[in-house]
Structure 1
Amino acid sequence: MDIRRVIGAALILLAAGSAVAQEGDKTISKTTISLGTATPGGGFPLFGDNFASVMNAADPTLVIAPRNTKGSYENIPLLEAGQLDLGLVAGEPAYEAFKGIKRPVTHLKILVAMYSSPGMFVVRADSPYKTIHDLVGQPIAFGAKGSGLPVMSRFILDGLDLKQDEDFKSIYLDHAGDGPAMVLDGRAAALWGAGSGWPGFTTMASSPGGARFIAPSAEEIVRVRAKHAFLKAMTIPAGSYPNQTAPIDSLGSWSFILARADLPDDIAYRLIRTLHGAESALCKKQAQACETTAANTLAAAPDPALIHPGVMKYLREIGVAK
């Protein structure tokens, strides 16, 4: 075989996302799966790194390769263009894509439900703000550009007859990790975020002066759900953040790992089977990831038809789906 054929064969192998590795006397063929996350400092990169670490350890034939992106709103078109195999997508952008809201209906599929994301604000403990309406007119860091967090807050605020960019001095971050510093030094009155173990909230709650969370009241939760029923009532358990001694009721949605529409069924099947066997290991890595389970995927999906066929095959085999 001449040198041109050798180079050509190598290029084909790389294009297919495959690699070979030597393990003892065995040659193992590996499948590389690209995973779009979000900007550094946010919850998606943290989850993506933990997910990849656990999955790669559990299945030596897989190489999950996380990649920082601008977040949900970049991951969706990258998946649709075939430039990513998997992408982390927040519930609201996923909902818009599946429903064709402000864009064509997507053909992407759900690989697995990641975790529930109840939304809320955090302020410094010495802040005078106690309710969402107290924050009206204040500079608020709503999250990174391109991420799903600002979309969630927009839906929730709309349910309270508030406009995110008119009733607040909205700040959209270049990097998710910039938010806590802006609140701590006074450039922002509050930071919006979601879920248990979210890095920005952990930073705020761990700060010397402490922090306080602001979530919708029980009456406000009812009002929001009357207008946007796809948002679900959720609770952040006590102890999810330093010095958080009581549970916090709010509302939000499930985030998903979405797969490109043409991800082969056998690859999706291998991924969910590997994840199912590694759920406890992922839970030990990250408390929030304890919700990343095969069973939760079926429960959280807006419609079972949106779940990847390879995943559904496995869910039927283990008795989760009919």
Structure 2
Amino acid sequence: MRRVGVVCITLYMILALLGGSAAAQQGETAITSATTSKATISLGTATPGGGFPLYGDAFAKAMNAGDPSLEIVPRNTKGSNENIPLLEQGELDLGLVAGEPAYQAFMGIDRPPTRLKILTAIFSSPGLFVVRADGPYKTIRDLVGQTVVFGAKGSGLPIMSRYILDGLGLKQDTDFKAIYLDRAGDGPAMVQDGRAAALWGAGIGWPGFVAMANSAGGARFIAPSADEIAMVRAKHSFLKPLTVPANSYPGQREPIASLGSWSFVLVRETLPDDVAYRLARTLHGAETTLCQTLAQACETTAANTVAAAPSVDLIHPGVLKYFKEIGAAK
């Protein structure tokens, strides 16, 4: 087993390190400490150019400023589908995970149920297609048979689109010429230069949508209609109606109704309760700073975490203790 330091945050953890206790052995992870008491905590994000690295940098900056004895270090990964096993193996302390892969992991869909826990909900992710404004495509059905970029390999975006399209009776890999990227940031250029008809993405302030909206030709967003939203939810009720507010992107003058899920910061199972408590306290003390740093991070609140979690039992016990103290949970 590789040897990794234990964070010297509390007396409990110091004693665990000195005593070589079973609890310390079980808690060996990517958390490290040097000769000082500063705790270095790894945070898995995703490939460059996507929303998770953008959020991860803002999250780390706000957390490190809120508690100078913390050093949260973002790390690019392949995204949600890599972050989950890395957390389970103790290779990450924290990881950003989209709602759909988190749901599958918690429910044990196509895999054993995970024992990972929620630190916080980070933002809602309404799913949308984006096309060039001068293109002919106006509905999801218009895109059938066309080349569509569904996101980076290993990210949660292709999983969300697969559920939504399935609810409409469409198959992502047969009804569309599906492209999956090595780097999330490569998608907008493929639509702009005509290699693809559309790009799938999700969220408010998502970099791919920003790039498309700021391009010379502008962008048109395509979301499920009201009837299509009802069809999807009849089959996949865990997907929630969500709205992209007007003016979230340049040229987008009206709100866009869609559906999607909440993304989370998940933590490894062995993260001690007092560490999780401290992270929650620091995070929610820095909510205003995080919101000022990144607009979509304004949704990172204790109240949203309690509301977005599939069950409060999935919130880390240390986090839940803090939430109860501040009245955010019963």
TM-score (norm: length of structure 2): 0.91
Cα–Cα, structure 1 residues 83 and 196, in superposed 2: closer, same or farther, change >3 Å?
same
Q: 1:234 to 1:148 in 2, by over 3 A?
A: same
Per-residue deviation, 1:12: 4.8
Out of 91, 95, 99, the residue aligned to residue 91 of structure 1 is: 99
Question: What's 2:175 paired with?
Answer: 167
Displacement after TM superposition at 1:294 (Å)? 1.1
2:130 alignment counterpart: 122
Distance change >3 Å, CA 11–CA 72, structure 1 → 2 = closer
Is the 8 Å Cα contact of residues 87 and 93 (structure 2) preserved in structure 1? Answer: yes
Runs of 4+ in 1 over 4 A off after TM superposition: 10-16
How far, CA to CA, are the matches of 1:58 and 1:320 in structure 2?
20
1:284 aligns with 2:299: no
Correspondence for 1:6: none
1:18 aligns with 2:33: yes
Q: 1:93-108 alignment to 2 at 5 Å?
A: 93-108=101-116
Q: Report the residue type matching 2:110 in the other structure.
A: K
Counterpart among 297, 305, 313 of residue 305 in structure 1: 313
1:79 and 2:94 equivalent? Answer: no
For residues 47-62 of structure 1, the aligned pairs below 5 Å read 47-62=55-70
Give, in angstroms, the shift of residue 243 of structure 1.
1.3
1:25 aligns with none
**Structure 2: distance between partners of 1:260 and 1:139:** 38
Q: Residue 203 of structure 1 aligns to which amino acid in structure 2? A: A
Q: 2:260 aligns with which of 249, 252, 273?
A: 252
Match of 1:265 in 2: 273
- Give the aligned partner of residue 143 of structure 1: 151
**SS of match in other structure, 2:145:** coil
Paired residue type of 1:311: V
Give, in whole Å, the separation in 1 of the partners of 2:259 and 2:159: 13
Q: Which residue matches 1:152?
A: 160
Q: What does 1:4-15 align with in structure 2 at a 5 Å threshold? A: 12=5
Aligned residues: 306
For 2:108 and 2:4, the matched residues in 1 are separated by 37
Alignment-mate amino acid for residue 118 of structure 2: I
2:282, 2:184 → 1: CA distance? Answer: 30
SS in 2 for 1:164: coil
State whether residues 132 and 220 of structure 2, in contact with CA within 8 Å, keep that contact through their aligned partners in structure 1: yes
Q: Give the one of 191, 197, 203 matched to 2:199.
A: 191
CA RMSD of aligned residues (A): 1.3
Is the Cα–Cα contact under 8 Å of residues 5 and 33 in structure 2 kept in the other structure?
Answer: no
Secondary structure at the counterpart of residue 275 of structure 1: helix
Q: Please list every run of 5 or more consecutive structure 1 residues that lacks an aligned counterpart in the other structure.
A: 1-9, 22-28
Structure 2 CA distance for aligned equivalents of residues 262 and 198 of structure 1 = 32
The 1:166/1:12 distance shift into structure 2, 3 A limit, reads: closer
Tell me if the contact between 1:108 and 1:258 (Cα under 8 Å) persists in the aligned partners: yes
Q: For residue 204 of structure 1, what is the aligned residue in structure 2?
A: 212
- Partners of 1:137 and 1:298 lie apart in 2 by 40
CA shift at 1:119, angstroms? Answer: 0.1
User: TM-score when scaled to structure 1?
Assistant: 0.93
Aligned residue identity for 2:34: A
The CA deviation at 1:19 is 2.7
CA distance in 2, matches of 1:63, 1:108: 22
Letter in 2 for 1:159: G
Following superposition, the deviation at residue 91 of structure 1 comes to 0.2
- d(CA) in 2 for partners of 1:139, 1:202: 21
How far 1:13 sits from its partner (Å)?
6.6
Identity of aligned residues (%): 75
Residues 13, 19 of structure 1: 8 Å contact kept? no
Q: In 1, distance between residues paired with 2:4 and 2:93?
A: 19
Deviation track 1:17-73 (CA, whole Å, cap 9, x = no partner) reads 11345xxxxxxx111110000000000000000100110011011110100000000
For residues 287 and 128 of structure 1, what CA distance do their matches in structure 2 show?
Answer: 31
Unaligned runs of 5+ in 2: 8-29
Structure 1 CA distance for aligned equivalents of residues 100 and 6 of structure 2 = 37
User: Are the counterparts in 1 of residues 288 and 298 from structure 2 also a CA contact under 8 Å?
Assistant: yes
Please list the CA deviations of residues 162-214 of structure 1 after superposition, one character each: whole Å capped at 9, or x if unmatched: 00000000000000000000000000000000010000000000001100000
